[in-house]
Amino acid sequence: MLFFHFIFMFLLLFYESSGEIPVCTPDNMGSNPFCFPSGYNKDMVPSLLTLNKTLEIHVDTYILEVSKIDDIALTVTFELYMDLMWKESRLIINENHLAWDSNNSIVGSTNFITEMWLPDIQISMCKQFTKSQIVTDLAGFTIFKNRNVLYTVSAEVIVACPFEFSAYPLDHQTCKFLVGSYMHEAETLTFKGSYGHNLAIQRAQPYVLQLEDLDYKDTFISFAARNYSYTGFQVQLRRRRTPVLLQVYLPTSLFVIVSWTSFIIPPEDVGGRMALLVTLFLVLVNIFTSVTENAPKAEGLTAVETWVMACIIHVFGVLAEYALTLKIIHNSKQNEVAERKKEQKKTQGQMELDELNLYKPPEHSERGQKDQSADGKGQDPQSNRLYMQFKKYVKNEKHEQLQELVDKVAMYLFPFIFIIFNLIYWPYYLI
């Protein structure tokens, strides 16, 4: 049994070797549509053997969809087909062979890949490149009569992108998909390409996607005094703002507007006015905590965090204004109590003086009354009481006017401040 097992393995290896690249000899020249010369070196760039030492690699990228945009990992995932085409000048073509189709091409075995020269392709900032598989890799290999070689592959590519979230959720990001050579300079390998995107099957993403050509400065990268050629495309990502506008901006704006209604609540209604402002303040703090947890990380505050923080400060300002009004009411009551105690002491002193006058001779009593009248202190008690009540009424009226003035000024000042904030905020982040 062991002997037959070795025989089977030998036959299997021999069968797989039949998928090797054909080598040109006088015996097999007519039996293959193409072949490679003996002594073929897969480590040498084809262009180095010709007068034109620059080999052009054409990269055609067709994006089925952008399947994921990860704001936390700062990556974009592409589901795509990638076609690589270059000229292999060392191919020997049998143009009369019947295997050539109407497009002057023939589909070769992917086993040839490991035995022929391939460009050292790299995708800039690529985190993961995964070939699609069912039974085998979804890849193809085609050779043309003009010696062009086409290698096509279906893959999932995850590319890191330098996102910057200071303007979140009003941000606009750019992600570049760059394909070039890892080792060979632009003098040896030059990359050209095209791209496409199937919008019909593109699933909804947090961003609106738009593919654009690379800027000219991105088609060459200089490193260690060497220039490398690149091709590809860039994806413009504009975040969909409607969800955040409805979930954060609209509620917080309404909370700020509701806080202004506290100005029409009588300051004496401490329970109603304080409960309204404290509730709004705590709800805004809770929204800020939620926004901070869900927003992508930035160097400072994001745009939405700045907005919610401004709303919190605004409501806190309204709360501080009410605290000032309560302080005015408190001072008014303290002054009223002090005046009442002073009046009580004065009344008690007058009663004691009257009791003493009962035991004095009449002439002394009359003289004392004349002296008090001359000094202006011997007024009628009824008149004095009316005077004190009028004075108290005037003071209370002044305090009430001061309270109304503070609320009236705040009623116009806080909306004005909020409008000015909006006039600065929106142009700053949108323009």
- What pLDDT does 387 receive? 55
- Kindly indicate the confidence band of residue 86, based on its pLDDT and cuts at 50, 70 and 90: very high
CA distance 283 to 409: 26
**Segment 176-185, tens digit of pLDDT:** 999 999 999 9
CA distance 188 to 221: 14
> Where does 243-430 sit in CATH, by number?
1.20.58.390
Task: Using the predicted structure, report yes or no on whether residue 14 has a pLDDT greater than 60.
Answer: no
Report which of residues 174 and 224 the model is more confident about: 174
Per-residue pLDDT, averaged over 336-340, amounts to 69
Side chain identity at residue 250, one-letter code: L
Q: pTM value?
A: 0.75
- Torsion, Cα of 300, 302, 304, 307 (10° steps): 40
Domain residues of the chain, as ranges? 21-240, 243-430
Sign for the pseudo-dihedral over CA of 93, 99, 105, 106: negative
- Kindly indicate the confidence band of residue 15, based on its pLDDT and cuts at 50, 70 and 90: very low
**Segment 135-153, tens digit of pLDDT:** 888 899 899 999 999 999 9
CA distance 57 to 185: 13
CA distance 268 to 272: 9
Report residue 161 CA to chain centroid gap.
13
Q: Residue 57 pairs with which residues in a beta bridge?
A: 191
- What pLDDT does 98 receive? 85
CA distance 146 to 378: 129
Report which of residues 363 and 82 the model is more confident about: 82
CA distance 89 to 48: 10
Superfamily of domain 21-240: Neurotransmitter-gated ion-channel ligand-binding domain (2.70.170.10)
CA distance 335 to 65: 75
- Do 21-240 and 243-430 have matching folds? no
**Segment 287-301, tens digit of pLDDT:** 999 999 999 989 889
- Kindly indicate the confidence band of residue 361, based on its pLDDT and cuts at 50, 70 and 90: low
Task: Using the predicted structure, report yes or no on whether residue 29 has a pLDDT greater than 70.
Answer: no
